[in-house]
Structures are given as structure tokens and as C-alpha cells.
């Protein structure tokens, strides 16, 4: 297939339909492109979420609440992708009315779903609901389904998220810290020789949800239903072996800053599952704890629980 692709673009260049520079660029992109995005590490996902929470509170003190509420809205968008498996375009169009806390269900209507089919996602992980409750208490901004009088269009939550991710990359550059692959970008040339910025790993958070969820549920049909994909699509694209199976536990062990660790063990019994949960949470929070006071506080609480166990 790659050879056919090269032959086609060489023919276009020979017949002057595209420039020689565009030919080189197209061939280079295809040569370097990986067939699948890699997985995001739980530590990187936790660091991003806690960094955004911290950034929201910084802006509340400096510029008032509007940007703070907008950032919290972008965090809603991210956790819906990371822990509910929604596509980013679907998550960007969700309102608080779509999130049913009583039935623990998230509705994706046909109009905003990629496959134009309504689905009601349930049996979602606990950490998602703790995040959504936390963000609801922060009055996270999600654009309403009906715009106020005088408004011509919905705010573009994807564009706002891109701005926040660029700030996150800038923070890494300023502190001379390598940018995690899951949020990194690269520049390339379009066919008309204009610079484009592309994600290094497209859709990596959704891909990570599907892979980690499949590892824990061991039920391809359930994972496919939550992702809005066919079972064959999950089989062909997402099924792969994890290097460290603890990563799957750690991914769904990322809880919000106000989470009380003692809630993990309401029965007050030391079981193998409880200890695994504690170690998976510790595994996911260590990077975030280096920067965020809230994450550090959470890590200390987890370590205390591990000592007690």
C-alpha cells in the first residue's frame, strides 16, 4: 500500500499537479507515521489534570472566574475522553443535562455522535463520577444546548482546549522538562506548503481508555459499546498487550484533588484488591505530586493507607 501511495504522488509531481517539496513532505509523513497511537501513561494523564486544576485556581486569583470556569469545562471534556471513552468532538458538545448523576449515565445524542446513533453510556468507572462531581461543584462551564438570545454560535471548546494544552507545553519548556508524547505536537507542511501543527499521538487518550478498559473488563462487547465502536473495530485496532498491567488499574485510579482516599475501603477490610488500588493510585500520582500540592497531599494520604494495610 505504501508503494502505491509513493507511486501516486510521484506521478502527481511529474505532471506538476503538486510541487516537488510537497512530494517529499507527503512521503516523509507516511514513512514516519505509526499505524496506531501509543498509550498515554497514567502518570502523564494525572499530571495534566492536576496541572489544569492548579492553573484554573491561579487564574481565579488573577483574572476572575470566567477563565477558571472555562478551564474546568475543558477538564470535563478531558475526563469524558479519558474515563468514559467519548470522542473529543463528542465530549466537547456535552452539557450538564447529558450527565445523569442519579443513574450514573452519560447520554450522547445522535446529532453530536460521530456515527449518528444515540447511546447512553452506563457502567462507567467510579473515578469518572468523582471527577464530574468535583467539576460540577466548581461550576465548570459547559456550553448549553440552547444559546442565549444574541449569541450566534456555541463557544468552541476544542479550540479552548488546544490553547490550554499549548500553555501546558510552554510550562514544560520553561522548566526544561520533556513534553509527554500524549500532548506533544510537531510541525509539517500541507500540500500547499503551509505549516501545520499536528498531534504527535492522535486520539491517544481515547485509545488509552479503550485499551485499559478492555484489560480490566475482559469484555470486548462492553468496551465497544462504551466507545461507540463495533466489536470488530476494537478487535482489529485496539487489542494489544500492555507492558505493565498496573497501568490499567492506575488509569482508573486517577481521582480529583478533593478525593478522600478512605472512601476506597468503606468495609474497613484489608483485601488484595484494596492494596492493588492503593498501589495503582500511587503509581499514577507520583509525577503530579512533584508539581501539585493537591497531588502531593493525595500521595501522602495514599502512602499512609498503604502503611496501615
pLDDT band at 102 (very low <50, low <70, confident <90, very high): very high
Q: For domain 42-144+154-199, which CATH number applies: 1.10.443, 3.40.1130, 1.10.10, 2.60.120?
A: 1.10.443
Cα-flanking dihedrals φ and ψ of residue 200, to 5°? -65, -35
Task: Answer for the pair 255, 131: CB distance below 8 angstroms, yes or no.
Answer: yes
Q: Pairing state of beta strands 99-100 and 105-108?
A: antiparallel
The grid cell for 69 is 470556569
User: Is pLDDT at 64 greater than 90 in this prediction?
Assistant: no
Q: Pairing state of beta strands 185-189 and 195-199?
A: antiparallel
Distance, CA of 133 to CA of 86 (rounded, Å): 18
Higher per-residue pLDDT: 18 or 84: 84
Higher per-residue pLDDT: 144 or 171: 171
> Quick one: DSSP state of residue 40?
P
- Tens digit of pLDDT for each residue in 184-240? 998 887 777 778 888 888 899 999 999 999 988 888 888 888 888 888 887 777 666
What are the CA-CA distances from residue 247 to residues 111, 127, 241 (Å)?
A: 34, 15, 12
Distance, CA of 76 to CA of 105 (rounded, Å): 15
HSE-up (13 A, CA, CB side) for residue 161: 21
Looking at every residue in the chain, the average pLDDT score rounds to: 84
* pLDDT value for 29: 45
Distance, CA of 45 to CA of 78 (rounded, Å): 10
* pLDDT value for 148: 61
* pLDDT value for 33: 44
Provide mean pLDDT across the span 123-136: 95
Distance, CA of 197 to CA of 169 (rounded, Å): 13
Total H helices, total E strands in the chain: 13, 5
User: Is pLDDT at 85 greater than 50 in this prediction?
Assistant: yes
- Tens digit of pLDDT for each residue in 16-48? 776 655 555 555 544 444 445 578 999 999 999
The four Cα atoms 254, 285, 81, 204 give a dihedral, to 10 degrees, of -140
> Quick one: DSSP state of residue 237?
I
* pLDDT value for 32: 44
Higher per-residue pLDDT: 101 or 8: 101
- For the chain, what are the domain ranges? 2-32, 42-144+154-199
User: Is pLDDT at 297 greater than 60 in this prediction?
Assistant: yes
Look at the alpha carbons of 250, 208, 157, 79 in this order and tell me if their dihedral is positive or negative: negative
Per-residue b or e along 67-88, where b marks 16 or more CB atoms closer than 10 Å to that residue's CB: bbbbbbbbbbbbbbbbbbbbbb
- SS3 sequence of 250-273: HHCCCCCCCCCHHHHHCCCCCCHH
Strand partners, 121: 106
> Quick one: DSSP state of residue 37?
P
Please tell me which of 72-81, 114-123, 255-264 the model is most confident about, judged by mean pLDDT: 72-81
Distance, CA of 185 to CA of 170 (rounded, Å): 12
Amino acid at each position: 500500500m505504501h508503494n502505491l501511495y509513493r507511486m501516486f504522488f510521484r506521478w502527481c509531481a511529474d505532471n506538476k499537479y503538486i510541487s516537488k517539496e510537497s512530494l517529499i513532505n507527503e512521503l516523509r509523513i507516511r514513512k514516519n507515521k505509526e499505524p496506531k497511537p501509543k498509550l498515554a501513561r497514567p502518570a502523564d494523564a494525572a499530571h495534566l489534570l492536576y496541572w489544569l486544576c492548579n492553573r484554573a485556581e491561579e487564574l481565579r486569583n488573577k483574572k476572575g472566574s470566567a477563565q477558571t470556569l472555562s478551564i474546568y469545562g475543558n477538564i470535563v471534556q478531558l475526563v469524558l475522553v479519558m474515563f468514559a471513552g467519548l470522542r473529543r468532538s463528542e465530549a466537547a458538545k456535552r452539557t450538564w443535562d447529558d450527565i445523569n448523576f442519579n443513574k450514573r449515565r452519560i447520554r450522547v445524542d445522535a446529532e453530536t455522535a460521530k456515527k449518528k446513533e444515540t447511546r447512553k453510556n452506563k457502567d462507567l468507572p467510579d473515578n469518572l463520577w468523582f471527577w464530574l462531581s468535583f467539576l460540577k461543584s466548581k461550576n465548570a462551564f459547559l456550553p448549553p444546548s440552547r444559546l442565549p438570545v444574541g449569541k450566534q454560535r456555541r463557544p468552541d471548546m476544542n479550540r479552548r482546549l488546544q490553547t490550554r494544552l499549548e500553555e501546558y507545553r510552554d510550562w514544560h519548556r520553561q522548566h526544561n522538562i520533556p513534553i509527554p508524547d500524549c500532548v506533544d505536537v510537531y510541525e509539517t507542511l500541507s500540500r500547499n506548503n503551509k505549516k501545520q501543527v499536528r498531534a504527535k499521538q492522535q486520539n491517544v487518550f481515547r485509545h488509552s481508555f479503550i485499551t485499559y478498559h478492555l484489560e480490566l473488563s475482559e469484555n470486548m462487547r462492553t468496551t465497544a459499546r462504551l466507545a461507540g465502536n463495533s466489536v470488530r473495530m476494537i478487535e482489529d485496532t485496539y487489542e494489544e498487550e500492555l507492558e505493565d498491567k498496573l497501568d490499567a488499574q492506575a488509569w482508573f485510579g486517577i481521582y480529583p484533588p478533593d478525593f478522600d482516599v478512605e472512601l476506597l475501603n468503606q468495609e474497613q477490610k484489608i483485601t488484595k484488591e484494596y492494596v492493588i488500588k492503593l498501589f495503582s493510585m500511587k503509581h499514577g500520582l507520583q509525577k503530579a505530586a512533584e508539581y501539585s500540592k493537591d497531588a502531593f497531599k493525595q500521595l501522602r494520604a495514599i502512602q499512609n493507607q498503604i502503611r496501615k494495610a
